[in-house]
Amino acid sequence: MNGLEPTVSARKTVTVTQLNNFIKDIMDNVAPLRDISVKGEISNITLHRTGHIYLTVKDEGALLKAVMFRGDAEKLSFTPKNGDKIIITGRISVFVRDGVYQMYASSMELDGVGSLYAAFEQLKAKLAEEGLFDESHKKRLPPVPWSIGVITAPTGAAVRDMINISGRRFPGCEIVLYPSLVQGPDAAPNIIKGIEYFNRTRRVELIIVGRGGGSIEDLWAFNDENLARAIYASELPVISAVGHETDFTIADFVADLRAPTPSAAMELALPDTGELMRKFGNVKTRLSALLSRRLESEQKLLRILSERRVFAAPETIYQDKQLEISRLGDMLEKALSGALESKRKETRSLGQLLASYDPLGVLKRGYSVAYDKNGRIIKSESEVKTGEEFSVKLANGAIRGVRTEK
């Protein structure tokens, strides 16, 4: 008992609480029970609204009740469920109220495949269902980036290799390093800050996130859900470059491009200067050939045009137009003369017709017209009373008179 006395004395009669406390004190002071790992299968699990987890661990022959409080449950990298084979670690003690012993678990992992792998598969399935890995969302890399942001540890072979490759392939590209942890619990938040920094400042056209190789535990930061969502939300293209050739991280699936190593990421991101020069040379050759053919075609067209009469003897065009104008003038003069003569004839005919209706012309033939004193034509003798004046219009004058008796 390590010098500790139980709370129950050697009396023959004790209360239930005293007995349970006595047993609890004994079990709490058994060293192997203070930190013990037990493996079995989960059954009757309850994920309580408080965050606590209540479960039973069983094998072929027995059951063990267990509880994991919220503080420890929040650290789990997977969601336990009935039927999972697990290894649960904690202390064995007595729950005095119920008089049962149970495990107070501090950690839990899946037996066989391991908890990290199970957590990886769960998160992968969740994010895939949400569409974070969809090809339709992946952004195209700039063909010739002039600035690249690198989020990685400031020391180590990875960053040196990337800088060396950049200098060899495309020296004109600026490499902006955002120093970050790449391992441990603080690594993912650091990397997320780097992604947010480059998106906010727009100092670069492309982001590379990565580190050198390591165990699954070393690379676990790149399986962080928040980091995956930060990569997905980035407006700048992101290359995931975690140093493992065969295995993938969650960051690899959600990134716009996955590179097996940081060095390979720089190779994929940057064009080769020599290859660019060869391409430019090919383009220059093709452009020169196109321009030469175009120039030859335009020169040929110029020669054809220069041989035409309008350019060879432009005065002939002027002379032809003069002849045309003269011909049109003659036609116009003839047309005007004809129209004028026609109008003259029409005018003479109208004059003769008008003269035939002229009353003076009638008078010349021996007729006369009588007018009353008011100048009105007298059409009937009844229109002039006895004693009234009247006048008679003749061809060469007029006669005035007064009517006498009727």
Residue 297 lies in a domain: no
Is 378:390 a contact under the CB 8 Å cutoff? yes
Q: How many domains does the chain have?
A: 4
Same domain assignment for residues 343 and 370: no
Dihedral-angle region of residue 44 (phi above 0 means left; psi in -120 to 50 means alpha; beta otherwise): left
CB 152 within 8 A of CB 242: no
Q: Which domain holds residue 379?
A: 362-402
Q: Rounded to an integer, what distance in angstroms lies between the CA atom of residue 347 and that of residue 56?
A: 132
Per DSSP bridges, beta strands 63-68 and 389-394 are unpaired
Alpha helices, H only, 11-114: 16-28, 31-34, 70-73
**CA-CA distance, 207 to 238, in Å (whole number)?**
5
The H or E element containing residue 163 is helix 157-169
> For residue 23, which amino acid is it?
I
The token pair that represents 102 in the structure block: 């149970």
Inside any domain, residue 290: no
For every residue of 320-380, DSSP letters joined together read HHHHHHHHHHHHHHHHHHHHHHHHHHHHHHHHHHHHHT-HHHHHHTT--EEEETTSPBP-S
- Residues 324, 394 within the same domain: no
| Separation CA 375–CA 291 (nearest Å) | 100
H or E element that contains 63: strand 63-68
CA dist 202 to 172, 237, 270, Å? 18, 12, 18
Q: Say if residue 371 is in the same domain as residue 348.
A: no
Tell me, yes or no, whether 137 and 238 share the same domain.
yes
**Domain match, 248 and 228 both:** yes
- Per the domain annotation, does 11 fall within a domain? no
- The pair of structure tokens assigned to 6 is 């139980």
Q: How many beta carbons lie within 10 A of that of residue 94, not counting itself?
A: 20
Residues 264 and 211 occupy one common structural domain? yes
The CA distances from residue 29 to 5, 6, 106, 210, 381, in Å, are 10, 10, 18, 48, 168
Residues 260 and 142 in one domain: yes
Same domain? 142 vs 104: no
pTM higher than the cut 0.75 = no
In 3D space, the residue among 253, 218, 219 whose CA is nearest the CA of residue 239 turns out to be 253
Q: Of all helices (H) and strands (E), which one includes residue 209?
A: strand 206-211
The two tokens of residue 83 are 């039927």
Helix, strand, or coil here: 76?
Answer: coil
Do the beta carbons of residue 73 and residue 64 sit within 8 Å? Answer: no
Q: Look at residue 85 in the predicted model and tell me its pLDDT.
A: 86
Residue identified by tokens 């002027």 is 318
> For each successive 10 residues of the chain (406 residues), what is the average pLDDT?
47 84 89 90 92 92 93 87 89 90 91 70 92 94 94 89 90 93 92 97 95 81 94 97 78 95 92 79 85 89 77 70 83 88 87 71 70 83 81 80 76
Model pLDDT, residue 4: 43
- Residue 188, φ and ψ in degrees, nearest 5: -60, -45
Write down the residue that tokens 């975690």 correspond to: 242
Nearest of 139, 127, 158, 154 to residue 224 by alpha carbon: 127
99 and 62 assigned to the same domain? yes
Q: What does the pLDDT read at residue 10?
A: 54
In a shared domain, residues 322 and 348: yes
In a domain, 281, yes or no: no
Same domain, yes or no: 160 and 140: yes
Residue of 9, 30, 12, 10 whose CA lies nearest to 101: 30
* CATH number of the structural domain spanning residue 195: 3.40.50.2300
The answer to whether residues 36 and 150 belong to one domain is no
* Residue 103 near residue 53 (C-beta atoms within 8 A): no
Domain final position from 112, 146, 178: 112
In a domain, 286, yes or no: no
Residues 406 and 16: their CA atoms lie apart, in Å, by: 173
Residue 310, pLDDT score: 66
Mark which of 271, 299, 323 sits at the end of a domain.
Answer: 271
Examine residue 282 and state whether it is found in any structural domain, yes or no.
no
137: closest CA among 256, 265, 257, 258? 256
CB distance 75 to 17 below 8 Å: no
Task: Kindly state whether residue 56 falls inside one of the protein's structural domains.
Answer: yes
Domain assignment of residue 291, yes or no = no
CA distance 189 to 170: 31
Q: Are strands 63-68 and 36-47 parallel, antiparallel or unpaired?
A: unpaired
pLDDT in tens, 250-289: 999 999 999 989 999 999 999 888 777 787 778 888 888 8
